[in-house]
A and B are shown apart, each in its own frame.
Chain A
């Protein structure tokens, strides 16, 4: 039997939270896109023309790209170092999968903002 060690209360909750950051960002992105799509239809932003398309589509594309950029940055950061102190090897791995998964999910679930009609 090994010997136990007594820990100083560390910022373990932050390490746990950080390991799921990618998915949290995806969840926010998904909710914001769905919410803005609903608002666009409620306030008829799809009928306001901007740059050859509608204000709604421009807004949704901008939000989508912004979240992709955030997740891309997160993947790049996690490729090099732990996001917060106290992350173990497993949590770093989970964080990296979470960031890459969040990025892929944001690209995949957000693609409809480019190709589909907003309010039909």
Chain B
């Protein structure tokens, strides 16, 4: 890279103004991953405290029989909100916050792949969570359990707004989670230091990668279920109403298709923390790196084959039970592989009993017990005995607190010097650990016993003669001990920030890159990017930090106003592009506001507000996308350290390419869930065949197929023509692509409006209308994107070298064509197949 030598301080003065978040109101425009990650983490811990207070209320109520502390209505809100807050507002955002904060630092990048998307995800998370908490303060919190089983959560049995609050708030938060997952997946795969192949990647990144792909596959079924239930509640459609051809068990399938993988989504990042900390604290390297990676991937897949073990008492045939029982026992194998790898690492190394290690040992004790009771409940006859008892409460807390909270606290104490730049002065953390460990076991071990004695979950009181009194009192005392422990952790952390002494640069002698800079980290992470040759770059090159600060790595100079990092080949880690990052902007906040208006409008039945929210959000997203890219071809340029790289708009595998494909992965999961729902209702639900079927209409089918497939074909033609330099015909072809999708979308929209029976009459009509709406929506998206491309071509943002806009739009056109065609074929074909 050209230019004279710059000192480390000089380079800092060049880069910091470029990357740092503005002060004052400008903080609301933050996109820097350090700030967004910290916001996710701090907000999730605030929600954790709220969830903890709710747990204390539950334990206060159950401490004695016939307690008058809270009535059943309040108690229902306590346990529903406790589960909802802990699962949706604490665990998932905490893991995403960890990923957003840590991944660029650990992988040797300056920011995440899509900084604005991360900021948008945060605002959506904060807004969705706030809806739930405000509703709770108003006494309108959800009260039908964190799983919202129908028919209890259906309109006739939950007529107020409480269930809607859950459906709207949680869906809003899930939008955030999916957006965050896309960003994290692309960042891990594409934004690493040059030379950091997958084989050299830190294990935490592997675990997070598996977890975020699980979010992309596992969350959409619940989004779909929530949309269906909200439509049923608001407009009287009939997805889950058995009297009209619906089936309440369908809700359970959709919920647990999300809900069981969720447990592993939470556990895997925690396992990543353990795989990072154990070798460092044992002064060795991990034993069985490849086995650990393979086990994490295996766990990711297997966890999708367990969801029915939450439904063993719903009357499913024996063969179905046996499938899921077998899968549930099998999942112990990859879990055990990881545990043995960690134990072997400890045996191989020289363990130091420092505070994070205490939490790791606590994890082993608690999680292994939770895993063993998990194998017990995987066995059908035992499961039937303890279903919906406190035994299950004990099991799930041993798994989730042992498998997530303890490793997270280990990670908190390990990385706190990185965040604060300080070290602990007092030994409050050790006291807090023992309070947490003893308090936890006092609280939950008893629940195995109360559960085996028959105490059901979710009861607000119990008679004294049941013999549960002493055990419950001990549980409650343990719960309050834990609460004191967590309060001490909070005090300890605050004291470290306020009065801790300055920490050494690499206090644990770790080998990973997050320790390769000043503490706390500067806004740009690395003054220049390292070229990685092994799994522990800092141990391989102890002077690395100093040389990076002096600009001796890649991108060691400021080039104008460009915020740059390096994009690599996903597998080999070879450098392939300079990724240009956006700076601070209010757009994510402004886009989250109308998104919130959309959800609030639905909650308050103000549908005009929702429509206005959609319109404003659409305009803002178009402005957002318009700000990307460049109007000239630049070609490959010197990126320092011997690298000559093109900017990302001129590269085929730019981050946006993968971001689009990963978003479509989540979209495909939602569509697959919808098709599953359609098939499930058709074959399993009572009250079928429906009283009236859609009249097969060959004109609608043929014209619809012509529109969606024709639109995609035109888009493909335009993309190929631009790539080949035949630019003259591109604009017209793009307009044809838009027209094709609009035409196809109109044909799909005509199905519920004209051809099908009214959707409130029978589940068949409801699910048919939803299928058509899904197809029509995607046609509209594809058409808007084609028109957007047309404008971009006119304005010079697209050239034969810069075809990213066209290729991303081609993904969406292809999906609209596929999903639209399949929707049309199912809609018109099913009545024909089932007809007389």
Binding site for B on A (CB under 8 A): 1-7, 9-10, 12-13, 15-16, 19-20, 23-24, 26-27, 30, 33-35, 37-39, 41-43, 60, 86-91, 93-94, 97-98, 101, 104-105, 108-113, 115-120
Give chain B nearest CB distance to A48 CB in angstroms.
16
Which of A23, A30, A39, A120 has a CB less than 8 Å from the CB of B683? A39
Known: A1-B531, A4-B531. 11 other contacts (CB 8 A): A3-B531, A16-B570, A42-B684, A87-B571, A88-B572, A90-B290, A97-B291, A98-B297, A104-B330, A109-B326, A118-B317
Q: What 0/1 pattern do residues 310 to 340 of B give for CB contact below 8 A with A?
A: 0000000111101100110010001000000
- Assembly CA distance A37 to B304 (angstroms): 18
Give chain A nearest CB distance to B186 CB in angstroms.
12
Contact A7 B572 (CB under 8 A): yes
Contacts of B198 in A (CB 8 A): 88, 90-91
- Is B194 among interface residues, defined by CB-CB distance under 8 A? yes
Give chain B nearest CB distance to A81 CB in angstroms.
17
What are 26 inter-chain pairs, A to B, with CB distance below 8 A?
A2-B532, A2-B533, A9-B576, A10-B569, A10-B571, A10-B572, A12-B569, A12-B570, A23-B298, A23-B301, A30-B305, A37-B317, A37-B323, A88-B572, A91-B571, A93-B294, A94-B290, A101-B334, A105-B302, A105-B330, A112-B318, A112-B322, A112-B326, A117-B317, A117-B318, A119-B317
Contact A101 B305 (CB under 8 A): no
- Of B431-439, B468-476, B602-610, B638-646, the stretch lying at the interface with chain A is B638-646
Contacts of B544 in A (CB 8 A): 1
Which of B199, B294, B320, B326 has a CB less than 8 Å from the CB of A111? B326
Contacts of A34 in B (CB 8 A): 320, 323
Which of B290, B298, B641 has a CB less than 8 Å from the CB of A93? B290
Give chain B nearest CB distance to A40 CB in angstroms.
9
Interface of A is mostly: helix
Contacts of A43 in B (CB 8 A): 683
Contacts of B680 in A (CB 8 A): 38
Which residues, 205 to 244 on B, are CB-close (under 8 Å) to A? none
Given the known inter-chain contacts A94-B293, A109-B326, please indicate yes or no for A12 contacting B571, CB distance below 8 A.
yes
- Assembly CA distance A109 to B378 (angstroms): 13
The chain B residue with its CB closest to the CB of A37 is B319
Contact A98 B294 (CB under 8 A): yes
Which of A5, A20, A26, A105 has a CB less than 8 Å from the CB of B574? A5
Contacts of A5 in B (CB 8 A): 574-575
Q: What 0/1 pattern do residues 143 to 183 of B give for CB contact below 8 A with A?
A: 00000000000000000000000000000000000000000
The chain A residue with its CB closest to the CB of B642 is A3
- Is B553 among interface residues, defined by CB-CB distance under 8 A? yes
Contacts of A120 in B (CB 8 A): 317-318
Contacts of A110 in B (CB 8 A): 323
Given the known inter-chain contacts A1-B553, A7-B576, please indicate yes or no for A27 contacting B569, CB distance below 8 A.
no
Lowest 7 A-B CB distances belong to which pairs? A112-B322, A7-B574, A4-B194, A23-B301, A42-B683, A97-B294, A7-B569
Contacts of B575 in A (CB 8 A): 4-7
Give chain B nearest CB distance to A95 CB in angstroms.
9
Contacts of A37 in B (CB 8 A): 317, 319-320, 323
Contacts of B291 in A (CB 8 A): 97
Give chain A nearest CB distance to B461 CB in angstroms.
38
- Is B283 among interface residues, defined by CB-CB distance under 8 A? no
Contact B643 A6 (CB under 8 A): yes
Question: Most chain-A CB neighbours within 10 Å: which of B298, B305, B318?
Answer: B298
The chain A residue with its CB closest to the CB of B576 is A7
Given the known inter-chain contacts A30-B327, A117-B319, please indicate yes or no for A88 contacting B641, CB distance below 8 A.
no
Contacts of A88 in B (CB 8 A): 197-199, 571-572
Q: What 0/1 pattern do residues 523 to 543 of B give for CB contact below 8 A with A?
A: 000000011110000000100
B contact residues, range: 35 or more
- Is B195 among interface residues, defined by CB-CB distance under 8 A? yes
Which residues, 570 to 601 on B, are CB-close (under 8 Å) to A? 570-572, 574-576
Contacts of A117 in B (CB 8 A): 317-319
Give chain A nearest CB distance to B375 CB in angstroms.
14
Give chain B nearest CB distance to A24 CB in angstroms.
8
Which of B305, B323, B552, B570 has a CB less than 8 Å from the CB of A27? B305
Given the known inter-chain contacts A6-B576, A6-B645, A108-B326, please indicate yes or no for A90 contacting B319, CB distance below 8 A.
no
Contact A4 B319 (CB under 8 A): no
Contacts of A115 in B (CB 8 A): 322
Give chain A nearest CB distance to B293 CB in angstroms.
6
- Assembly CA distance A13 to B531 (angstroms): 23
- Assembly CA distance A24 to B569 (angstroms): 24
Given the known inter-chain contacts A109-B305, A120-B318, please indicate yes or no for A90 contacting B298, CB distance below 8 A.
no
- Is B547 among interface residues, defined by CB-CB distance under 8 A? yes
Which of A13, A24, A89, A109 has a CB less than 8 Å from the CB of B570? A13
Contacts of A24 in B (CB 8 A): 301
The chain A residue with its CB closest to the CB of B290 is A93
Contacts of B318 in A (CB 8 A): 112, 116-117, 120
Contact B571 A38 (CB under 8 A): no
Give chain B nearest CB distance to A16 CB in angstroms.
7
- Assembly CA distance A43 to B834 (angstroms): 12
Contact B326 A4 (CB under 8 A): no
Contacts of A4 in B (CB 8 A): 194-195, 531, 554, 574-575, 641-643
Contact B304 A27 (CB under 8 A): yes
Contact B531 A94 (CB under 8 A): no
Contact A97 B298 (CB under 8 A): yes
Contact B301 A41 (CB under 8 A): no
The chain A residue with its CB closest to the CB of B209 is A16
The chain B residue with its CB closest to the CB of A7 is B574
Contact B572 A113 (CB under 8 A): no
Give chain B nearest CB distance to A87 CB in angstroms.
8
Give chain A nearest CB distance to B298 CB in angstroms.
5
Contact B323 A109 (CB under 8 A): yes
- Assembly CA distance A42 to B289 (angstroms): 46
Q: What 0/1 pattern do residues 324 to 365 of B give for CB contact below 8 A with A?
A: 001100100010000000000000000000000000000000
Contact B297 A94 (CB under 8 A): yes
- Assembly CA distance A44 to B626 (angstroms): 56
Contact B319 A112 (CB under 8 A): yes
- Assembly CA distance A6 to B330 (angstroms): 42
The chain B residue with its CB closest to the CB of A15 is B571
- Is B653 among interface residues, defined by CB-CB distance under 8 A? yes
Contact B645 A1 (CB under 8 A): no
Contact B293 A90 (CB under 8 A): yes
Given the known inter-chain contacts A6-B574, A105-B302, please indicate yes or no for A1 contacting B294, CB distance below 8 A.
no
Q: What 0/1 pattern do residues 620 to 646 of B give for CB contact below 8 A with A?
A: 000000000000000000000111110
Contacts of A2 in B (CB 8 A): 195, 531-533
Give chain A nearest CB distance to B210 CB in angstroms.
10
- Is B5 among interface residues, defined by CB-CB distance under 8 A? no
Contacts of A98 in B (CB 8 A): 294, 297-298
- Is B559 among interface residues, defined by CB-CB distance under 8 A? no
Given the known inter-chain contacts A37-B317, A108-B326, please indicate yes or no for A20 contacting B297, CB distance below 8 A.
yes
- Assembly CA distance A5 to B320 (angstroms): 52
Give chain A nearest CB distance to B552 CB in angstroms.
7
- Assembly CA distance A98 to B301 (angstroms): 10
Give chain A nearest CB distance to B568 CB in angstroms.
8
- Assembly CA distance A30 to B341 (angstroms): 29
The chain A residue with its CB closest to the CB of B653 is A9
Contacts of A111 in B (CB 8 A): 322, 326
Contact B569 A9 (CB under 8 A): yes
Contact A94 B294 (CB under 8 A): yes
- Is B652 among interface residues, defined by CB-CB distance under 8 A? yes
- Assembly CA distance A98 to B300 (angstroms): 11
The chain A residue with its CB closest to the CB of B319 is A116
- Assembly CA distance A37 to B680 (angstroms): 12
